[in-house]
Amino acid sequence: MIPNLKGKGKAASQLSDILVRMQREQPPPLPSSVKPPEIDTLLLIDRQVDMLTPMCSQLTYEGVVDEFININNGAVELEPSIMGAQPNAQASTRKVKVH
């Protein structure tokens, strides 16, 4: 459960209402299993309010790798040629962890 939901825009407000309703409908946890939330605030921004952000590029190495090669579950799949393998090497891709 995320205790604080903040948003800007009509779609953000609608999503916030849905999340609050889902949290209310969820049965309360047992006292022994209650622990502080990992995420204490969720900020929702409607694209009708913030139209510029989707045009921004990622400026970290990990962001660039994700943009061009696609990070999936913390790893990328690379062709042997990218890893410096000889052209006649086996043609299977290799999974490399990013973090």
On average, the pLDDT of the chain sits at 82
Most confident of 15-19, 38-42, 78-82: 15-19
Question: Which residues have a Cβ under 8 Å from the Cβ of 29 and sit 6 or more positions away?
Answer: none
What's the average model confidence in pLDDT over 2-22? 92
What distance in Å separates the CA atoms of residue 2 and residue 59, rounded to the nearest whole number? Answer: 29
Q: Check: pTM over 0.75? Answer yes or no.
A: no
What values do phi and psi take at 87, rounded to 5?
Answer: -60, -30
List of long-range contacts for 91-97, beta carbons under 8 Å, 24+ apart: none
Report the range of poorest mean pLDDT among 23-27, 34-38, 80-84, 86-90.
Answer: 86-90
Quick one: pLDDT at residue 88? 61
